Amino acid sequence: MAKKNYRLLLMEDDKDVLRTLELVLGHYYESVSTEQRISNLADRLANEVFDLVLLDMNFRPGKQSGKEGLFWLKQIKQQAPDTAVILITAYGDIDLAVEAMKQGASDFLLKPWTNEKLLGVVEKALPKRKNTTLSPTENEFLESRSPAMIDVIEKVKKVAPTDANILFLGENGTGKSSLASFLHQQSNRQQQAFVVADLGALHDNLFESTLFGHVKGAFTDAKNERQGVFQAANGGTLFLDEIGNIPLEQQGKLLHVLQSRKVTKLGTSIEEAIDIRLITATNAPLDQRVRDQQFRQDLLYRLNTISITIPPLRERTEDIPLLYEHFLAEFSTKYNKTVKTLAGTLKKLGRYHWPGNIREFRNALERAFILCDDESIGPEDFILSDSFQETTVLDSYNLIEIEKMLILKAIDLHHGNLTQAAQALGVTRQSLYRRMEKYDL
């Protein structure tokens, strides 16, 4: 089941509530934007088109009447009359709800909500004018011609109806997160939340708070209670990306939760039962990490009830023409531009090693699509870095050594600019920092 083709804007001054909304809704709808400053609302509406705005009724501290929400509701309906609006409040004032509906609100959501209630209210409020279609990221798997990738897809479909823990293995950019989403949509939990946590970008001191949540006052900056990703995914699926990056001292805490199926927020001793389907992913060689005593073997047993290895793009080159057509169609719609493909283009793309896999392929094609001249795209439009040439010869096939080499080459290529290097590698800046620290680079 693909993400639905809608654009949502979430307006909420509480960053923890905003993050929870984004986690839940971001895996059902193609575009979910967030905004904490109500003063930016007019500019957002002027420069972007949204199908729905989810609006907190009380933005200023101490203001709990809901009148501020009604004021901004009026502004939205004047500036973007076709945009649906759902008002959020922690106070169940029926009269206020009726007034909001009279002034054009589509619905009214009370805090705290369940994921099921949130998704139901949003789905009901969205205009029914758009078709739900398969996104290119899902097509790239569902229409594979590669025997290795077809085998992966069949395994995913076979295990999806179960509640078995799944571990996806593979290089960066191979599509582990997209396959995790596809698995969820094929599962019996498809109507429930699909929540993602990128452990590679997670600082050690935020580990427990992000995963398990915290209560107000649990630590210095804990000004509000926060729901962790385990609670946000309750009833649905939790995807923990880059599981191999968890520090050894934190692995025991995760193992305890997976064994007990109970979560305790920081700052309290109260246990909360959770019901989740767990999917994890990593590009790290976990078996080697276990031998090096960097990863707990009992945790690995919990994670890999079933492990599925995703082949890199260089091992599924027969899919390059399909990927090319999918992404080309996506960019034609995105940029309102049609181009033809010149001879030799696919041959060049098929010879390249693609160390960044599908993520790098997509970025390279988008850049070429934007910059190409004469409404045609040819081999010369693809500037494939000298650091990643087609003729790259590897002295070692050890994933750790390859990753270190690619990091150093990306940093050198971009003259020490870590933001650009991270983009070239297809990872976040924070994730690149963690890898540099891990390898002492």
Residue 131 lies in a domain: no
Q: Which residues of the chain have pLDDT under 70?
A: 1-2, 59-66, 90-95, 97-98, 128-143, 201, 204-205, 385-398, 412, 415
The predicted structure's pLDDT at residue 91: 58
The predicted structure's pLDDT at residue 415: 64
Question: Using the 8-state DSSP alphabet, how is residue 266 labeled?
Answer: B
Cα separation, 53 vs 11, whole angstroms: 7
Does residue 148 sit in the same domain as residue 293?
yes
Does residue 121 sit in the same domain as residue 142?
no
The predicted structure's pLDDT at residue 66: 58
Cα separation, 241 vs 303, whole angstroms: 12
Does residue 115 sit in the same domain as residue 32?
yes
Cα separation, 371 vs 381, whole angstroms: 7
Q: Are the C-beta atoms of 52 and 6 separated by less than 8 Å? A: yes
The predicted structure's pLDDT at residue 156: 94
pLDDT, tens digit, for every residue of 287-327?
999 999 999 999 999 999 999 999 999 999 999 998 998 88
Q: Give me the numbers of helices (H) and strands (E) for the chain, helices first please.
A: 19, 14
User: Is residue 37 classed exposed, middle or buried when 0-12, 13-18 and 19+ CB atoms within 10 A define those classes?
Assistant: exposed
The predicted structure's pLDDT at residue 230: 92
The predicted structure's pLDDT at residue 423: 78
Q: Range of 121's domain? A: 4-125
Domains identified in the chain, total number: 4
Does residue 206 sit in the same domain as residue 156?
yes
Which residue among 125, 157, 181 closes a domain? 125
The predicted structure's pLDDT at residue 393: 43
Residue 130 lies in a domain: no
Cα separation, 306 vs 301, whole angstroms: 10
Question: Using the 8-state DSSP alphabet, how is residue 283 labeled?
Answer: S
The predicted structure's pLDDT at residue 159: 96
Does residue 373 sit in the same domain as residue 293?
no
Does residue 64 sit in the same domain as residue 164?
no
